């Protein structure tokens, strides 16, 4: 692609403004925003009105625009924009993990059919370079597991609860005000956002293409005060963990809250930061940490993709091409801590083993091992009077 590129941007929220700001402070890249498509023309904006339009075709059909940058939150509209752009052979950069996770097969087909690049580094862990590393650096290493904190909002909430004794609602409100949370914050709180990111990582790490429903996600919304007290007594914190790993010839994946001990690397990942532990057969353990949410952090990843397009970078989906033929299976044992109100105790026969049961006037819990498949099928998992966390051995 020629060096001086013109961008057509969709969305001018937290990330759009972040991109504008980092682009204007970066000298290395010769790119300029030609037009920004917005939904609400009456909103007060810090830039000249001539830069904005409400007509998406003005951008999509402009032959002078080389790259479409999709930064809106609506999934269907975002997919329409991306698909139309790829069909018009315009390269696309997106940060929309939900849209990608829900439309991955079509997006792979469109890239192939129209031989047009689609980059989305900003969709996973914002400022941490994850996807290009998985594609290029870990091309030949045999990856065995990837686990980490992939959602900034929930980490921000949990950090405030543990560090500053803030309550959940107050911390969530702050995360929304700071632009960390999704437009629908239940996507963060219930673990969907982390799951979409994990799904994208699974394709680039292991060549496994899944649907969102294939991955178990259990969020932080059911964590009770008693669970937090229990964690403190054990000198641990609670973090929302996303994990995918090889076990024999299959790969399993899930998103769940977990007790994390003080000495654990992920214990040091606080507030809106994300952390990723990558394990390979030869490289062994590596740890990446960086801001996982926020305008500038995400804008910097978007800018990095725009820059990659200037040297004709595109994902080759190397693990898919390598035909690793790894099966995906949730047949995997987890050690969990389950707390419950009286009368909501999960059936013991669902567990492979139970190592502890505690029942008192105000706190009931059990610790046991359970198959992930069983967990995904059990009705009690959806009971709001039950709270499930991975133990430190989980």
Least distance between ligand HSE and beta carbon 176 (Å):
10
- Backbone region of residue 17 per phi and psi (left: phi > 0; alpha: psi in -120 to 50; beta: other values): alpha
Residues 35-64 that bind ligand HSE (CB under 6 A): none
Residue 180 or 206 having the CB closest to ligand HSE: 180
Residues 109-138 that bind ligand HSE (CB under 6 A): 126
Query: In this structure, how many other beta carbons lie within 10 angstroms of the beta carbon of residue 76?
Result: 10
Which of residues 17, 111, 153, 270 is near ligand HSE by CB under 6 A? 153
Residue 70 or 188 having the CB closest to ligand HSE: 188
Q: Exposed, middle or buried: residue 221 (CB in 10 Å: 0-12, 13-18, 19+)?
A: middle
Residues 335-374 that bind ligand HSE (CB under 6 A): none
- Distance, in Å, from the CA atom of 382 to the CA atom of 61, rounded to the nearest integer, reads 47
Over the window 161 to 200, marking each residue x when it contacts ligand HSE by CB under 6 A and - when it does not, the resulting string is: -------------------xxx-----x----x-------
Residue given tokens 């060096």 in the structure block:
3
**Is 197 a catalytic site residue?**
yes
Which is catalytic among the residues 97, 195, 197, 319? 197
Which of residues 73, 151, 217, 387 is near ligand HSE by CB under 6 A? 151
Q: How many residues bind ligand HSE (CB under 6 A)?
A: 11
**Any long-range contacts for 230-237 (C-beta under 8 Å, 24+ apart)?**
230/337, 230/339, 230/363, 230/365, 231/162, 231/259, 232/162, 234/259, 234/261, 234/392, 235/261, 235/262, 236/260, 236/261, 236/262, 236/267, 236/392, 237/158, 237/162, 237/262, 237/267
**DSSP 3-state of 31:** strand
In this chain, which stretch among 63-71, 100-108, 147-155, 311-319 interacts with ligand HSE, using CB under 6 A?
147-155
Q: Is 296 in the site for ligand HSE (CB under 6 A)?
A: no
Please list the active-site residues: 197
Residues of the shown chain interacting with ligand HSE in the complex, contacts defined by CB under 6 A: 126, 151-153, 180-182, 188, 193, 292-293
């Amino acid at each position: 692609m020629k060096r001086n590129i013109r961008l057509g941007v969709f969305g001018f929220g937290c990330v759009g403004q972040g991109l504008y700001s980092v682009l204007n402070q970066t000298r290395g890249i010769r790119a300029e925003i030609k037009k920004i498509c917005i939904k609400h023309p009456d909103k007060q904006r810090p830039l000249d009105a001539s830069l904005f339009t409400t007509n998406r075709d003005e951008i999509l059909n402009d032959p002078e625009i080389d790259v479409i940058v999709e930064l809106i939150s609506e999934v269907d509209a975002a997919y329409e924009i991306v698909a139309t752009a790829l069909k018009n052979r315009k390269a696309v950069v997106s940060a929309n993990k939900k849209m990608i996770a829900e439309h991955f097969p079509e997006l792979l087909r469109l890239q192939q059919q129209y031989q047009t690049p689609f980059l989305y580094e900003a969709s996973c862990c914002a400022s941490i370079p994850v996807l290009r590393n998985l594609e290029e650096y870990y091309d030949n290493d045999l990856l065995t597991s990837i686990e980490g904190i992939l959602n900034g909002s929930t980490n921000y909430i949990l950090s405030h609860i543990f560090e500053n004794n803030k309550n959940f609602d107050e911390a969530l409100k702050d995360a929304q005000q700071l632009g960390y949370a999704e437009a629908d914050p239940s996507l963060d709180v219930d673990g969907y956002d982390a799951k979409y990111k994990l799904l994208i990582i699974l394709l680039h790490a292991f060549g496994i293409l899944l649907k969102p429903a294939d991955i178990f996600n259990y969020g932080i919304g059911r964590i009770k005060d008693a669970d937090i007290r229990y964690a403190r007594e054990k000198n641990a914190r609670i973090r929302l963990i996303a994990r995918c790993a090889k076990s024999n010839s299959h790969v399993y994946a899930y998103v769940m809250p977990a007790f994390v001990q003080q000495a654990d690397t992920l214990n040091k990942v606080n507030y809106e930061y994300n952390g990723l532990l990558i394990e390979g057969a030869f490289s062994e353990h590596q740890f990446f940490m960086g801001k996982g949410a926020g305008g500038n952090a995400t804008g910097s990843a978007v800018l990095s993709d725009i820059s990659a397009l200037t040297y004709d970078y595109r994902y080759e989906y190397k693990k898919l091409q390598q035909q690793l033929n790894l099966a995906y299976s949730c047949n995997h044992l987890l050690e969990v801590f389950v707390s419950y109100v009286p009368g909501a105790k999960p059936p013991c026969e669902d567990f492979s083993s139970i190592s502890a049961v505690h029942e008192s006037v105000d706190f009931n819990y059990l610790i046991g091992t359970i198959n992930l498949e069983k967990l995904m099928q059990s009705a009690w998992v959806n009971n709001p009077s039950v709270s499930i966390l991975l133990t430190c051995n989980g």
